[in-house]
Amino acid sequence: MNTATIAENNRAAADLADVARVLDGDTQAFEGIVRRWQGPLINMAWRYCRDRGRAEEMAQEAFLRAWRGLSRWRRESSFSTWLFALAANVYRTELKRFPTETLPLEAAPEPAGLATQHSELAAQLSQDAVRRAVLALPVRYREPVVLFYFHEMDVAAAARTMGMPEGTLKARLSRARELLRQRFPRLEEEHNAHPSRKDKNAARVGHPHFSKSEVAEETGREAAR
Amino acid sequence: MNRAKTSRSEAEHARIEMEINQILATEEELLPSSGFASAVMERVRQEAALPEPIPFPWIKAIPVLLLAGGGIVWSVVEMVRLGGPGLRLTGLSQSAQSWLTNPLANLSAAQARPVEQAGWVALALGTSLVSWLLSRRLAGRGGLL
């Protein structure tokens, strides 16, 4: 069994224990759930709105809804699947009520040209332009993209969070990629050569929502037990 | 020549999509602000301290709602009946028009009298309900109860 799986199992066991304590009336036990899932839920909200303050507000609302609806989790799926689906629902509703200010896809700025792309700043700008363009996609394509990359390109997990068949999600992803490609026809390969990017790629292991350090921390705790 | 051009453009598309893929897959992770968990727990504790919401008393409300609904329907029928020839009910068959304009004509006199009285009672109840709802609305209190 690899370290990521062990960490995931520990987390699932801790979720189960905390949920049981909360349902028995121990309000404080909910803090364990909040501390474990605050990072993933805030990062997920960030991908929906690209506004840090708002991402935290939306994540807070998702936790409150989870608190209120904890008794409705039927344990048919893992706690994280239930929590992500609930959070996606909250974020979708929030953004419907107060949409983010986005440019239409055609107005999203084109990444910087060849002459400037060697600077770190220009590379960063071009990446930001692509990420912001996701928010300008039509709603039906935006959410599959957001969740697919949030779940580290796991189609099944993204489909579970959205509550839609995998085939539908794949079709929407394909269309979304096509729209983005049409919008950014001159993206340069320089992006990949950027050293900081390689480091970030290397930091992501095993579990889709936790960094290497978090996984190592969890594994250490398991060893201590 | 055309085939070479097409495959070059397909390769270009694939390269751009791969580039987009990499950009979107490598997002910098946000760390929650230091007070986030405490803020959430504060709100959770506030919610936990609130008394349980009182469930809507459907068992008591359903008969009242049915009565009020019946009263409203009856009052509409009565108005149509009393308005009689003045009202034009287009699109209805002759029998439906006659039933709507004078439903009591199909009943015997002995049956018609209590039904008519019940109708007036229902009308009075419906009017009371409407005036009560209107007064609540004017007082700025939403909801039925």
At A46-58, the pLDDT tens digits run 999 989 999 999 9
CB contact at 8 A, B6 and A26: no
Least Cα separation, residue A8 to chain B (angstroms):
19
Nearest CA in chain A to B22: A192
Give me the mean pLDDT over the A75-97 stretch: 92
User: Which DSSP category does B143 fall into?
Assistant: S
Interface mutation target, options B24, B33, B36, chain A, most CBs of A under 10 Å? B24
Which residues have CB under 8 Å from B3's CB, separation 6+? none
Give me the residue from A35, A43, A149 closest to B25, CB to CB: A149
Give me the mean pLDDT over the A110-117 stretch: 53
pTM of the model: 0.63
Question: What ranges in chain A are assigned the alpha helix state H?
Answer: 3-23, 30-49, 52-69, 79-97, 120-135, 139-150, 155-162, 166-183, 190-193, 195-203, 212-224
User: pLDDT at position B98, please?
Assistant: 62
Cross-chain Cβ contact B36/A145 below 8 Å: no
Q: What is the mean pLDDT of chain B?
A: 78
Interface mutation target, options B34, B40, B42, B52, chain A, most CBs of A under 10 Å? B40
Q: pLDDT grade, residue B118 (50/70/90)?
A: confident
Cross-chain Cβ contact A181/B16 below 8 Å: yes
Residue A83 pLDDT > 90: yes
Q: Is A71 on the interface with B (CB under 8 A)?
A: no
Q: Is A130 on the interface with B (CB under 8 A)?
A: yes
Least Cα separation, residue B36 to chain A (angstroms):
8
Q: pLDDT grade, residue A187 (50/70/90)?
A: low
Alpha carbon distance B26, B33 (integer Å): 21
In this prediction the ipTM stands at 0.72
CB contact at 8 A, B122 and B71: yes
Give me the residue from B24, B31, B48 closest to A27, CB to CB: B48
Provide the residue type at B104 as one letter.
L
Any bridge partners for residue A123, and if so which?
Answer: none
Least Cα separation, residue B44 to chain A (angstroms):
7
Give me the mean pLDDT over the B100-126 stretch: 74
Give me the residue from B23, B29, B39 closest to A131, CB to CB: B23
Nearest CA in chain B to A132: B24
Least Cα separation, residue B8 to chain A (angstroms):
14
Alpha carbon distance A184, A133 (integer Å): 9
Cross-chain Cβ contact B40/A192 below 8 Å: no
Give me the mean pLDDT over the A133-156 stretch: 89
Using CB atoms and an 8 Å cut-off, which of residues 87-116 of chain A contact chain B? none
Give me the residue from B27, B32, B41 closest to A39, CB to CB: B32
Q: What is the mean pLDDT of chain A?
A: 79
Q: pLDDT grade, residue A197 (50/70/90)?
A: very low
